[in-house]
Every structure is written in C-alpha cells, then in structure tokens.
Amino acid sequence: MHGVPGGMIRRLFFGFGVVVAFSAPSLAELAMTGAPVAMRAGPASNARIVQRIPGSAEIEVEKCARGWCHASWRNRPGYIPADDVVLGPPAATLPGNQMPPPVVYAPPTYVTPPVWRWDGPYVGTNLGFGAGGW
C-alpha cells in the first residue's frame, strides 16, 4: 500500500491557503459615507489623498481599526476615517425597497366670512335720514 507523500499534503494545504487568502478581500461589507471625505493612501491624516468621495456614496469596507477603515470606492482602495463611515447600504438601494413618498402637510385654509354692509338709506341715531355705509 502506498501512502500519500508529505510534500503532496503540504502543497494541498498551501493551495487551500492561497484560495482562502484571495477570496477574503471579496468579503467586504457594504457601507456609505456620512459626509464628503478624502480617501487616503495610508491610515493617517497626512497621507496622500487617493480620491475624494462625495457624501452618501456607497463604499465597500474590508476592515476598521484604530480609527481608520480600509475601504474601496469605484475599485480604488484606500483608507477613510472611521467616523465618516456609516455601516450598511443606503436603504433605497436594497432590492424591492423603495423610499416612501414624503408626507406633505398643507396648512389649513381659512376663509374669512363675508362682511355685510348696508349701502342703502338708513335712519341715523339722531333720527335723521342719510345714505351710504355705516
């Protein structure tokens, strides 16, 4: 009976490790930016700016640590401050989920009652006659 050589097992485990390593970056979590933000080349505020991302843009976050998130937007990776990341996709982009129409409250309409005015002849307070309005 022939046994499986040790080199073969090592190569198999190595191949499995490579597959896992290359599939891990595809496990990014959908998120969005809370405000316009500059994506940087490194996790530091003085690192080179890779691109500027508008507010409410959908991004893919791989991991967050020490106040910075490694993310990508439009297939360009970089680092974004963790305070500017809102986890989860925007609600309107979920399949079958529509934003409800805005509720509009109209102010009440007030109708002023008509004012009755007599423009004909009248008897005045001193029992005199006259014409015109009072």
- Higher-pLDDT residue of 75 and 22 is 75
Lowest mean pLDDT among 35-39, 69-73, 82-86, 100-104: 100-104
Is position 33 within any domain?
yes
Domain of residue 37: give its range. Answer: 22-88
**Percentage above 70 pLDDT, the chain:** 57
Mean pLDDT confidence for 19-27: 50
pTM above the 0.85 mark?
no
Other CB atoms within 10 Å distance of the CB of residue 7: 8
Total number of domains constituting the chain: 1
Bridge partners for 70 per DSSP = 63, 79
pLDDT at position 79: 96
Q: Assign residue 39 the CATH number of its domain.
A: 2.30.30.40
Q: Are 124 and 133 in contact (CB under 8 A)?
A: no
